Amino acid sequence: KYGNRNLPLLTFVLVKKRHHTRLFMHEHKIIYEDDTMYEVGITSNVPCGLVVDTKIISPWQSNFVINLHEAIEGTNKVLLYHVLHDEIGFTAEELRKIIHSLCYSDPRSSTSEAIPSVVYIADYIANYIASKTRYLFPHNGDR
């Protein structure tokens, strides 16, 4: 409580862009050409909305990997989400749906973005403030 008002419940989710996890689908196809059989391995990107919450992530933390966009070229870079604190009590599925919906909230795009636009805006503002206040808090090597 703050005075005679209730404080809102909060959920903190950390979005990690810089990691080495890549997801792709691997498929074997057999191709016949000139009476010769070739076995070919074909890789492709995982579909939009795919969630991985077992095997490749930590079993002791509330985290998951999700692909939220279609790759235009190359391999999709999935994002790693860590639920740091959840006062609201979201189920894993509710949280994933909210995050997926936020990826469609960028007014400049009619498709899903790689990261929720609120995360992109927060990152942009933090970098802007850091660039403007760098002289106030110099690090070693900064001039």
CATH top class, domain 11-133: alpha beta
Burial 56-86 (b: 16+ CB within 10 A, else e): ebeeeebbbbbbbbeeeeeebbbbbbebeee
C-beta of residue 80 within 8 angstroms of C-beta of residue 19: yes
Sheet holding 11-16, edge to edge: 11-16, 79-86, 63-66, 51-52
Q: What are the CA-CA distances from residue 85 to residues 7, 15, 93 (Å)?
A: 15, 13, 16
Count the neighbouring beta carbons within 10 Å of the beta carbon of residue 89.
8
* Cβ-based neighbour number of residue 111 at 10 Å: 11
pLDDT per position in the chain (143 positions), as tens?
667 778 889 999 888 877 767 766 777 777 777 777 776 767 777 777 777 776 766 666 777 777 777 777 766 777 788 888 889 998 888 888 888 888 888 778 777 777 888 888 888 999 999 888 887 777 655 55
**Structure-token match 């909305």, residue found:** 49
- 137 SS3 class: coil
